């Protein structure tokens, strides 16, 4: 069993592409410093929010998937809370069972 974490955060819609990359890079660097591995970052783009958050109707969604980041989550979420660019964030934990076959290793989610 391996624990995989996923953090989704929403940035202010008025940020340009360079600023979005800078903020995402800051959080990526923070996670790497804290020992997170297999870090994958996906920019999901600007989307309409279901409800207004701090006078914002749109937001830029960024998704991070990583392993071995349990210690880093508190540090990262504190940095997100203090950042004026992040308007909302959420971290979830998934248990993944590794199945070995002759040629490949497949990861399948385990239901709770």
Q: Which tens digit of pLDDT belongs to each residue from 10-61?
A: 999 999 999 999 999 999 999 999 888 899 999 999 999 999 998 999 999 9
pTM (two decimals): 0.80
Whole-angstrom distance, CA of residue 112 vs CA of residue 82: 33
CA 79, 81, 87, 93 torsion: positive or negative? positive
Q: Which two tokens stand for residue 38?
A: 């297999």
Third-level CATH fold of 2-109: Alpha-Beta Plaits (3.30.70)
Tens-place pLDDT, residues 73-108: 999 999 999 999 999 999 999 877 766 655 555 566
User: What ranges do the domains of the chain cover?
Assistant: 2-109
Is the separation of the CB atoms in 5 and 65 below 8 Å? yes
Whole-angstrom distance, CA of residue 37 vs CA of residue 32: 7
Is the separation of the CB atoms in 53 and 59 below 8 Å? yes
111: pLDDT confidence band, cut at 50, 70 and 90?
low
Q: How far is CA 13 from CA 30, 46, 48, in A?
A: 23, 7, 10
């Amino acid at each position: 069993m391996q624990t995989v974490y996923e953090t989704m955060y929403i940035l202010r819609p008025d940020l340009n592409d360079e600023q979005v990359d800078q903020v995402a890079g800051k959080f990526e660097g923070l996670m790497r410093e804290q020992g997170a591995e297999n870090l994958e970052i996906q920019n999901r783009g600007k989307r309409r929010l279901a409800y207004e958050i701090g006078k914002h109707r749109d937001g830029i969604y960024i998704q991070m998937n990583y392993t071995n980041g349990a210690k880093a989550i508190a540090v990262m979420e504190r940095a997100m809370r203090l950042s004026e660019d992040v308007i909302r964030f959420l971290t979830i934990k998934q248990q993944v069972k590794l199945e070995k076959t002759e040629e490949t290793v497949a990861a399948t989610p385990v239901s709770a």
